[in-house]
Structure 1
Amino acid sequence: MQPIELLLTHPLPSSPRQGELDGFVLHKLWEAADPDAFIAQIGERVRGVIASRPTPINEALFNRLPNVEIVSNFGVGYDQIDVDAATRHGVVVTNTPSVLDEEVADLALGLLLATVRRIPQADRYLRDGQWLKSSFPLSASLRGRTVGILGLGNIGLAIARRLSGFDVGIAYHSRRQRTDVSYRYYDSPGALAEAVDVLILIVPGTAETRHLVDAALLEKLGPNGILINVARGIVVDEQALIKALADGTILAAGLDVFEREPNVPAALIEADNVVLLPHVGSASEPTRGAMADLVIANICGWFSDKQVVTPVNQG
């Protein structure tokens, strides 16, 4: 019996289940000098894909992998995968929800505090010897603020639980009002932005959420407003945000994600009222290992008895 052949778009972090892939033939796309020629050579033999952003998994790729059965995505977000195309081709798509919720929520709170209290700026001030000349300027505060969460799914709930210990107001908008929380619900993103002075984004990156945060919404957030994005870069109109930060439409922003990663606009890098992180929301060794475990569990489950742990579609 021939071993099953898999295409890996990016390296997987080490995990306790790594050895379970030893029985497969692993084709490593990132090592190919010519990725197109590489796929042309192996495409008909590939039965599974282990995927990760930003490599697109789309109709064109499915046409080149006629025997693929499963795409096991490394990440809870799967915006780089055309799930409709996968379904048309009879391909099951899986992702890695839940195992990264707490890590991303921790990062969101850290990014919020760093942005409000200007922690990276203060660090640079000290390192540059400026403290020897004068005290660091006073920062804004989290005290007295109301924090809005745009997207109250599992990660949003984990963020809200952490915020409850900071004595701030908490409000939210989601596609549907939840019946299991007491936080104030607003029926639109704009209404939420008008009611809060911190807005945390934790919605999927889809065609529907592209540029959900635009110039009009930033205007509603106001000159004391702080935007925190731990969702996807496309949720924010980046040029509108740059202008809003420059002209005082909002006070500050903390960003872990960007529209064209890893390319970050120079205007954001140069701005002093922005805290920037290189998309590290889930990037701890334990969490990335747990995500890799789930990727492998989905692959092995499918090829052992056609069962997966975390399906996105039915294939």
Structure 2
Amino acid sequence: MTATTRARANPPRVLIARPMPAAVRARAEELFDVEWRDSNAPMSDAEMRSALALYDGIMPTLGDRFSAEIFAEFGRPRCRILANFGVGYNHIDVEAARGHGVTVTNTPGAVTDATADVAMTLMLMSARRAGEGERLVRAGLWTGWHPTQMLGLHVSGKTVGIIGMGRIGQAIARRCHYGFGMNVLYANRSAKTVDFPAQQLPLHELAAQADVVIVAVPGGPDTHHMIGADVFGAMQPHAHFINIARGDVVDEAALIVALQQGQIAGAGLDVYEFEPKVPEALRQLENVTLLPHLGTAAEEVRSDMGLMALNNLQAFFAGETPANAV
């Protein structure tokens, strides 16, 4: 780790847990007494405990598991805010944090369009067998065009079922409806007022009717293994399954079986149950598209996320309620 000492009097001391884009780094240096972790690996238990004792605020991200056990040895740690870099915060035990006087924030909004774009990427790649086709060309095995070559699913005019109709789910639905003329079904805890035609259905009815099923729910105990063998069993054999939410929303073993046995035609995944571990059985399947968690991987998006996290820190230390407290 390397420390930067600010010239102005007693700025809050903040640990930023990953290297960040230049714009985020520059802004952080203006605002705080910053220490940068120069590793992209998740923080260890010892690092997290030490950080809670040494810093006024921390900017953690996916993989930094601030569990109840991490907080257990503290009454009120020096750290008073975890400004998460990312919209998902299921790696932080929010109730445990609150119990120890620690505010938790996230970065919604900044990630919406980029994540929806990756959902569309995966839908098209899976439906049109793009990953399989690229592997064929790269292996030098393509013998030329013919009328029945690698026939896939034409998504225009088909039915998409979206599980979770929050910001990201709605952004996906708009792209599907207005871009591809798709009929939109959704499963959600409550009905949503949206600016496009959509029908709310129970989860298993949605799975049975949709040509493409896309998961866009937050992670956490309430959604753990929400999608399992029963959902895959309800889907149509020609249907495709897309996950851009959190890996543990899906029972990965059940997904593998569904793909191996032809219960569904294909899948597109940006997240995994035990990320970054991806099962060998999944990697060997031709009918699945696998991306390395690229949902927000655009420089301006990651910069916006970092600046939003810094805004949350700045508001908190100014005695205000951060805009994105969870």
Task: Tell me which of 189, 200, 223 is aligned to 1:185.
Answer: 200
SS of structure 2 residue aligned to 1:75: coil
Once the two structures are TM-superposed, the CA of residue 42 in structure 1 deviates from its matched residue by 5.8
Mark the runs of 5 or more structure 2 residues left unpaired by the alignment.
Answer: 1-8
SS of equivalent residue, structure 1 residue 132: coil
**2:251 matches 1:242:** no
Using structure 1 for the length normalisation, give the TM-score. 0.91
Are 2:169 and 1:156 aligned? yes
Q: Could you say which residue in structure 2 is the equivalent of 1:45? A: 54
TM-score (norm 2): 0.88
Is it true that 1:10 corresponds to 2:54 in the alignment?
no
Distance across 1 between alignment mates of 2:46 and 2:253:
37
Aligned residue number for residue 86 of structure 1 = 97
- Counterpart contact for 1:21–1:296, Cα < 8 Å: no
Q: Is the 8 A contact 1:58 1:82 kept in 2?
A: yes
Identity of aligned residues (%): 38
In structure 2, how many angstroms separate the alpha carbons of the residues matched to 1:5 and 1:220?
52
In structure 1, runs of 5+ residues without a counterpart are none
1:194-273 matches, cutoff 5 A: 194-273=208-287
Give the aligned partner of residue 284 of structure 1: 298
Query: CA separation in 1, counterparts of 2:180 and 2:187?
Result: 20
C-alpha RMSD of the superposition: 2.2
Residues 282-302 of structure 1 show CA distances to partners (whole Å, capped at 9, x for unaligned) of 111110010011011111221
Shift of 1:11: 2.4
Structure 1 segments of 4+ aligned residues over 6 angstroms from their partners = none
Does 1 or 2 have the higher relative contact order (CA < 8 Å, sep 6+)? 1
Question: What's the counterpart of residue 114 of structure 2?
Answer: 103
Q: Which residue of 2 aligns with 1:70?
A: 81
Bigger drift between 160-169 and 6-15 goes to 6-15
Aligned-partner residue type, residue 100 of structure 1: V
Residues 312 and 324 in structure 2, CA contact (< 8 A), matched pair in contact too: yes
Secondary structure, counterpart of 2:232 in structure 1:
helix
How many residues get paired? 310
Q: Is the 8 A contact 2:244 2:270 kept in 1?
A: yes
CA contact (8 A) 2:16 2:34 kept: no
| CA distance, structure 1, for counterparts of residue 119 and residue 166 of structure 2 | 14
| Contact 1:8/1:26 (8 A) holds in 2 | yes
Change (3 A) 1:178 1:31: closer
Cα distance in 2, alignment partners of residues 137 and 180 from structure 1: 37
Shift of 1:123: 1.6
